[in-house]
Chains A and B, each alone.
Chain A
Amino acid sequence: MPKLTVVTRTGDEIEIEQTRPGASVMELMRDHDVPDLLALCGGSRSCATCHVWVDTAFLSKLPEAVEEESELLDSSMHRQPNSRLSCQIKWKDELDGLRVTLAPED
């Protein structure tokens, strides 16, 4: 099954093999128990507690961030060019091999 790798805040790697197309990367991480992921607003682009850095090789495979997402990220202390809200990345099989790093808490 197409695989997602998550780098945790302590630098550990978690491999998620049970990916589901349509689920968000946030939901996959939550259901696979990635520590320190809060995702407090449950994916409604309100909290930015699901902020990840995405493997740059995959950035072009992701739909562009809508304005609200960019605004939330722009004001984060840990903003990087490869920052995304994981709740806004819908899983699809082309993302096989995607690697994301949980950004530090703001």
Chain B
Amino acid sequence: MAQPSVAIIGAGQAGLQVAVSLREQHYEGRIALIGDEPHVPYARPPLSKAYLLGEAGDLALRPQTYFAQHRIDLIAGKRAVAIDRTRRMVGLDDESVIEYDHLVLATGARNRSLPIPGVELGNVFLLRTLDEAALLRERMAAAKNVVVIGAGFIGLEFAATATKLGANVTVLDVADRPMARALSKTMSAVFTREHEKTGVRLMFNTQAMRLLGEQCVTAVETVDGKILPADLVLIGIGVIPNVEVAATCNLTVENGIVVDEFLQTSDPHISSIGDVAAFSNRHLGGGRVRLESVQNASDQARCVAARIMGQPDAYDAVPWFWSTQGSLKLQMAGLPSSGCEEVVRGDPNASKCSVFLFRDGKLACVETHNRPADHMLARRLLAERAALTPDQAADPTFDLKSLLPRPAARVAAA
């Protein structure tokens, strides 16, 4: 091959960041960034929040001109359909072929569909892409009764947005509390109370059985026989990793593309990052996970770019995440897992509080509601493996900063 080259499948948050980081580190070879959406890479988080309110600025993560300027061959609107590992080539759906020395699989995830009658009706939405959000935004204008199926992050962000836009919003979930898989019981209770205050109706331990309507949806029927009028339905019941292209070339796939601690697949010429990658690291207490967050996509991308540039390092970043739900701001650092001891800092009945979660006496995760300082400190405490005890966390007068090394004195710059 004449020139070294990197091919990246998936032009989302993770795929773009690989290309950006490679160029920042003066990678000289060719970079092909292949994405099946007809847009420049864009930020997804605003799609369930500011974008629907018409308040988001430009969602593009880089201006259109960036790609040519940096010799990044953005192949937008085309799908990678095959990988030939022996010849190191990616085949696209238009039958063109891209060669690589290193291939990064950053194909993300897609929404899980709901296998019940009526999901094909008009005004029933999933929310992942800009195109879906654009249509949703248009239809929101006339929506009066909105039903959200799934009280996860996206469902609740959307519920808060729809409430702000003036709709009557009902959220259903099979679980007994919101964000049940990710949040402590205490924090779930805070969010239940706060959402209810704004008028969102939350229904737990129930399920949609079918969607009713002729062309457009008119109601949702639940398994317990309730009929909820709805002129718009959003389904947010989780995602499925886009592993198909990896599976075509026999890479190990198991709820995501399996990678080692360097984010490398079973083929040393292929890495995988972002929502699609199943990895393990020290913050996870042993298991393998897939994380769906901007932080994870971006930090994993930087880790792989550094390895391509000859600086291999195990991926070790502290996971963190935010979810803005109307005026509620949830931030998380570390990873939740069941069986943690919950310690509340602040007043859970007030408009701000934090929950510190301890696994075997060690800090594992911190959830904050409107307490950004605790969130930032939590990221550092976890990174430093600071020896915070549950009693210290519970004591509002205990200075969390005292457990952190002091930064070297610095002369004020600029």
Q: Which A residues have a C-beta under 8 Å from some C-beta of B?
A: 7, 23, 27, 30-31, 33, 35-36, 38, 40-48, 52-56, 68, 71-72, 74-78, 80-82, 99-101, 106
User: Could you tell me if A53 and B298 are in contact, using CB atoms closer than 8 angstroms?
Assistant: no
Contact of A42 among B46, B371, B376, B407 (CB under 8 A): B46
Contact of B62 among A30, A38, A56 (CB under 8 A): A30
Task: Give B1-15 as 1s and 0s: 1 = Cβ < 8 Å from A's Cβ atoms.
Answer: 000000000000000
Q: Report the bound CA distance from A45 to B148 in whole Å.
A: 26
Which residues of B (21-80) have their CB < 8 Å from a CB of A? 24, 43, 45-46, 49-50, 57-59, 61-63, 66, 69-70
User: Could you tell me if B331 and A77 are in contact, using CB atoms closer than 8 angstroms?
Assistant: no
Looking at the assembled complex, report how far the CB atom of A90 sits from the nearest CB atom of chain B, in whole angstroms.
11
Interface of A is mostly: loop
User: Could you tell me if B373 and A75 are in contact, using CB atoms closer than 8 angstroms?
Assistant: yes
Q: Report the bound CA distance from A47 to B13 in whole Å.
A: 15
By beta carbon, the residue of chain B nearest A75 is B376
Query: Is the CB of B377 closer than 8 A to any CB of chain A?
Result: yes
Query: Is the CB of B295 closer than 8 A to any CB of chain A?
Result: yes
Which residues of B (314-355) have their CB < 8 Å from a CB of A? 322, 324, 329, 331
By beta carbon, the residue of chain A nearest B329 is A46
User: Could you tell me if A72 and B414 are in contact, using CB atoms closer than 8 angstroms?
Assistant: no
Given A30-B62, A44-B324: A99 touches B414 (CB 8 Å cut-off): yes
With a CB–CB cut-off of 8 A, which chain B residues contact A43? 57
Given A36-B24, A46-B329: A31 touches B410 (CB 8 Å cut-off): no
Query: Is the CB of B385 closer than 8 A to any CB of chain A?
Result: no
Looking at the assembled complex, report how far the CB atom of B333 sits from the nearest CB atom of chain A, in whole angstroms.
11
Q: A44-B46, A71-B372, A75-B372 are in contact. List 17 more A-B contacts (CB 8 A).
A: A7-B413, A30-B61, A33-B70, A40-B295, A40-B298, A42-B45, A45-B372, A46-B329, A53-B412, A71-B371, A72-B372, A74-B373, A75-B401, A77-B407, A100-B414, A101-B413, A106-B376
By beta carbon, the residue of chain A nearest B411 is A80
User: Could you tell me if A106 and B379 are in contact, using CB atoms closer than 8 angstroms?
Assistant: yes
By beta carbon, the residue of chain B nearest A58 is B414
Query: Is the CB of B380 closer than 8 A to any CB of chain A?
Result: yes
Looking at the assembled complex, report how far the CB atom of A71 sits from the nearest CB atom of chain B, in whole angstroms.
4
User: Could you tell me if A7 and B414 are in contact, using CB atoms closer than 8 angstroms?
Assistant: yes
Contact of A55 among B43, B50, B69, B414 (CB under 8 A): B414
Query: Is the CB of B146 closer than 8 A to any CB of chain A?
Result: no
10 closest A-B pairs by CB: A75-B376, A46-B322, A71-B373, A101-B414, A71-B372, A35-B24, A53-B414, A72-B372, A75-B373, A75-B377
With a CB–CB cut-off of 8 A, which chain B residues contact A54? 414
With a CB–CB cut-off of 8 A, which chain A residues contact B63? 31
With a CB–CB cut-off of 8 A, which chain A residues contact B404? 77
Looking at the assembled complex, report how far the CB atom of B349 sits from the nearest CB atom of chain A, in whole angstroms.
20
Contact of A38 among B298, B370, B379, B380 (CB under 8 A): B298
Query: Is the CB of B208 closer than 8 A to any CB of chain A?
Result: no
User: Could you tell me if A78 and B376 are in contact, using CB atoms closer than 8 angstroms?
Assistant: no
Looking at the assembled complex, report how far the CB atom of A10 sits from the nearest CB atom of chain B, in whole angstroms.
10
User: Could you tell me if A27 and B24 are in contact, using CB atoms closer than 8 angstroms?
Assistant: no
With a CB–CB cut-off of 8 A, which chain B residues contact A31? 62-63
Which residues of B (370-403) have their CB < 8 Å from a CB of A? 370-377, 379-380, 401
Query: Is the CB of B126 closer than 8 A to any CB of chain A?
Result: no
Q: Report the bound CA distance from A68 to B372 in whole Å.
A: 7
By beta carbon, the residue of chain B nearest A87 is B57
Contact of B410 among A23, A72, A75, A80 (CB under 8 A): A80
Looking at the assembled complex, report how far the CB atom of A27 sits from the nearest CB atom of chain B, in whole angstroms.
7
Q: Report the bound CA distance from A82 to B63 in whole Å.
A: 29
Q: Report the bound CA distance from A33 to B380 in whole Å.
A: 28
With a CB–CB cut-off of 8 A, which chain B residues contact A81? 412
Looking at the assembled complex, report how far the CB atom of B302 sits from the nearest CB atom of chain A, in whole angstroms.
9
Looking at the assembled complex, report how far the CB atom of A32 sits from the nearest CB atom of chain B, in whole angstroms.
9
Contact of A72 among B43, B62, B70, B373 (CB under 8 A): B373
User: Could you tell me if B376 and A56 are in contact, using CB atoms closer than 8 angstroms?
Assistant: no
Q: Report the bound CA distance from A38 to B17 in whole Å.
A: 9
Query: Is the CB of B294 closer than 8 A to any CB of chain A?
Result: yes
User: Could you tell me if A41 and B294 are in contact, using CB atoms closer than 8 angstroms?
Assistant: yes
With a CB–CB cut-off of 8 A, which chain A residues contact B324? 44, 46
By beta carbon, the residue of chain A nearest B44 is A42
Q: Report the bound CA distance from A91 to B45 in whole Å.
A: 24
With a CB–CB cut-off of 8 A, which chain B residues contact A56? 412, 414
Given A42-B45, A77-B407: A27 touches B57 (CB 8 Å cut-off): yes
With a CB–CB cut-off of 8 A, which chain A residues contact B322? 41, 44, 46-47
User: Could you tell me if B380 and A77 are in contact, using CB atoms closer than 8 angstroms?
Assistant: yes
Looking at the assembled complex, report how far the CB atom of B311 sits from the nearest CB atom of chain A, in whole angstroms.
15
Given A30-B62, A68-B372: A44 touches B377 (CB 8 Å cut-off): no
Q: Report the bound CA distance from A33 to B371 in whole Å.
A: 31
